[in-house]
C-alpha cells in the first residue's frame, strides 16, 4: 500500500512538473510584453515548419502564415533557440544599425557547428574589422579590377567553349565548378586537378545539408554536411601546413600567402583556427551563392525573351564600340553595363538565397511596444522585404526595369538586403556582381541555348535546383 501510494504520488508529481515545464516553454518570462507568436512544441519548437520545403519564389509559408496571423514581428523557437522574426523594413534597419550596441551577429549553434567556432560570423569588434580588411585584399575593387576581371573572362570563355561541344550541360553544376576553380586558385593556389575536385565534392556534401533539419545521425543531410566540412578542413589544414613550411615563391600570389604572412607576424592577431575557418567560409560563400544566382539568371532570361533581347543589345554594343572586337573586357566596359546590373539586382531580389540574417539581443530591448529579452535571437527575413507589394510593384514578376536609375540602392538599404546590411554588408558583393556580369557577357555575345530539363527550384528554406538545370549550348 505504502509503495503504491509513493508511486502514485511520484507519478502525479512528475505529471505536474511536466505540465508546468510545458507551460513555461510556451509562455517564456519577460520583463515586458513579448511579440505575439507560438513557441511550438517543447524543445522542437517550430523547426519542422521552418524547414518544410516549398517550390515558389514567394515568401515561405512559415513566415507568410505567421505574419498574417501575428503581424510583421512575431516570436518562435527554432532548433532549440527562442527567436523573434521581423518582416518590418524599418525595424530591420534599426537592428543592423545597432550591432555592437544592442545586438551582435549570431547564428544558431547548429550553424556554428557547421561553419566553425572561429568563423567570421562569430567574431566581433576589432577582430571582425581586421578580418574584413584582409578579405578586401582579395575581393576589394582594386583586386577585382587588376586581378580578377581578365581571369574571370578567360575561364568563362574556356568553359563555354567546352560546354558547347556537349549535347547537354547541367548549368548549375558547371557554373559552380567554374567559380570554385577560380576562387580556389585565388584563395589557396589550387589549379583544377583531381585533388581540387575532391575538395569541391566535400563542399557539395556540405552544401546539401547546410540548411537542413539538424539531426546528426548517419544518413541524414546534416550528418553528411558535417562530414563534408571535416574532410574539407583536413585538406585546408594540410595545405596551410605545407605552405607555412615551404619557401616563399614570388611568382605566386594568393590569399594563402597573405594568411601565412599574418600568422608569422610577431604578436600575430590571426590564429590558425580563425584562418582555416575563414578560408572555409570564403570558399563556400564565393562559389555557391554566386552559382545559384547566376543559374537562376540564365533560367529567367530563357523565360523572358524581352529581357534577353535588351541584354544582348547592351553587350553587342560594347563589342561594336571596340577598336578590336576580340579584345578582352575592360573595367570601363564593365562599369557601363547598366541594364546588366538591373538584371543582376532583380535576379538576387527574387533568388533570396539567404532566407534569414541572425542577430542576438545583448540586453532587454524595447521596440514597437514589445520587449526582446536579452539573449534571444533575432531573425531579419529578407524575402518578406523583397517580395513586399508595398515596396515592389508585382513583387513576384521578373522586371529588371524596376531598377532603372536605382543602382545606388544595391548597396544595402531597408528595402534591399540581398547582400546583408549594416557593418556586415557582404564583402563579396562586388565579386558576385562582377562574376555574373562577365559570364553573361560571354554567354549572350557568343551563344544561344535551349532548355533541356530541370530548372525547377526548391526552398528548404534556402534556394536549390533539385534536378539541376540542363541546357544545350549552341554557338551563334
Start-to-end C-alpha separation, the chain: 92
Cβ distance 216 to 223 under 8 Å?
Answer: yes
**Which pLDDT score, from 0 to 100, does residue 302 have?**
97
> How long, in residues, is the chain?
476
DSSP string, 191-229: -SSHHHHHHHHHHHHHHHTTTS----STTSHHHHHHHHH
Distances (CA, A) of 385 to 58, 368, 456: 11, 18, 23
* Regions of the chain short of the pLDDT cut 70: 1-14, 16-19, 21-23, 25, 110-111, 114, 116-123, 192-198, 202-214, 247-253, 407-411
The reply, when asked if residue 225 is annotated as ligand binding, is no
Residue 159, SS3 per DSSP: helix
3-state secondary structure of 104: strand
Q: Alpha helices of 209-287 — where are they, by DSSP H?
A: 221-245, 255-263, 272-284
Q: How many CB atoms lie within 10 A of CB 244?
A: 13
Q: Is the overall model pTM greater than 0.85, yes or no? A: yes
Q: Cα-Cα-Cα-Cα dihedral of 360, 230, 286, 60, to 10°?
A: -50
The CA R_g of the chain, rounded to the nearest whole Å, is 24
pLDDT the model gives residue 29: 82
Amino acid at each position: 500500500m505504502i509503495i503504491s501510494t509513493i508511486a502514485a504520488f511520484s507519478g502525479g508529481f512528475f505529471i505536474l512538473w511536466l505540465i508546468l515545464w510545458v507551460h513555461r516553454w510556451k509562455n517564456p518570462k519577460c520583463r515586458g510584453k513579448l511579440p505575439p507568436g507560438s513557441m511550438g512544441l517543447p524543445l522542437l519548437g517550430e523547426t519542422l515548419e521552418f524547414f518544410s520545403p516549398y517550390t515558389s519564389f514567394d515568401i515561405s509559408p512559415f513566415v507568410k502564415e505567421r505574419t498574417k496571423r501575428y503581424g510583421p514581428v512575431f516570436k518562435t523557437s527554432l532548433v532549440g533557440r527562442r527567436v523573434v522574426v521581423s518582416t518590418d523594413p524599418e525595424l530591420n534597419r534599426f537592428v543592423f544599425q545597432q550591432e555592437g550596441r544592442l545586438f551582435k551577429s549570431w547564428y544558431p549553434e547548429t550553424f556554428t557547428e557547421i561553419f566553425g567556432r572561429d568563423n567570421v560570423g562569430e567574431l566581433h569588434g576589432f577582430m571582425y574589422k581586421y578580418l574584413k580588411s584582409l578579405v578586401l585584399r582579395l575581393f576589394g575593387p582594386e583586386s577585382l579590377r587588376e586581378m580578377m576581371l581578365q581571369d574571370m573572362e578567360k575561364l568563362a570563355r574556356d568553359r563555354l567553349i567546352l560546354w558547347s561541344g556537349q549535347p547537354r550541360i547541367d548549368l548549375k553544376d558547371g557554373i559552380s565548378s567554374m567559380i570554385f576553380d577560380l576562387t580556389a586558385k585565388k584563395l589557396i593556389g589550387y589549379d583544377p586537378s583531381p585533388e581540387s575536385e575532391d575538395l569541391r565534392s566535400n563542399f557539395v556534401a556540405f552544401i546539401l545539408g547546410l540548411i537542413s533539419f539538424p539531426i546528426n545521425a548517419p544518413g541524414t543531410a546534416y550528418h553528411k554536411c558535417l562530414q563534408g566540412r571535416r574532410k574539407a578542413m583536413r585538406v585546408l589544414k594540410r595545405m596551410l601546413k605545407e605552405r607555412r613550411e615551404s619557401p616563399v615563391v614570388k611568382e605566386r600570389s594568393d590569399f594563402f600567402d597573405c594568411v601565412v604572412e599574418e600568422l608569422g607576424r610577431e604578436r600575430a592577431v590571426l590564429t590558425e583556427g580563425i584562418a582555416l575557418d575563414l578560408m572555409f567560409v570564403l570558399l563556400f560563400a564565393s562559389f555557391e551563392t554566386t552559382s545559384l544566382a547566376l543559374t537562376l539568371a540564365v533560367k529567367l532570361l530563357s523565360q523572358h525573351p524581352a529581357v534577353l533581347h535588351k541584354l544582348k543589345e547592351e553587350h553587342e554594343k560594347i563589342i561594336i564600340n571596340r577598336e578590336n572586337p576580340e579584345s578582352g573586357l575592360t573595367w570601363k566596359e564593365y562599369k557601363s553595363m547598366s541594364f546588366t546590373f538591373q538584371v543582376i539586382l532583380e535576379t538576387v531580389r527574387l533568388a533570396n538565397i539567404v532566407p534569414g540574417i541572425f542577430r542576438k539581443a545583448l540586453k532587454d530591448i524595447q521596440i514597437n511596444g514589445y520587449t526582446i529579452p536579452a539573449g534571444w535571437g533575432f531573425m531579419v527575413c529578407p524575402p518578406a522585404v523583397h517580395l513586399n507589394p508595398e515596396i515592389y510593384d508585382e513583387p513576384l514578376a521578373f522586371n529588371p526595369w524596376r531598377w532603372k536609375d536605382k543602382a545606388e540602392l544595391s548597396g544595402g538599404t531597408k528595402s534591399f538586403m540581398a547582400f546583408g546590411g549594416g557593418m556586415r554588408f557582404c564583402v563579396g558583393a562586388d565579386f558576385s556582381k562582377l562574376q555574373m556580369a562577365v559570364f553573361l557577357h560571354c554567354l549572350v555575345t557568343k551563344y544561344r541555348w535551349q532548355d533541356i530539363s530541370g530548372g525547377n527550384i526548391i526552398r528548404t528554406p534556402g534556394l536549390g535546383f533539385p534536378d539541376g538545370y540542363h541546357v544545350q549550348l549552341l554557338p551563334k
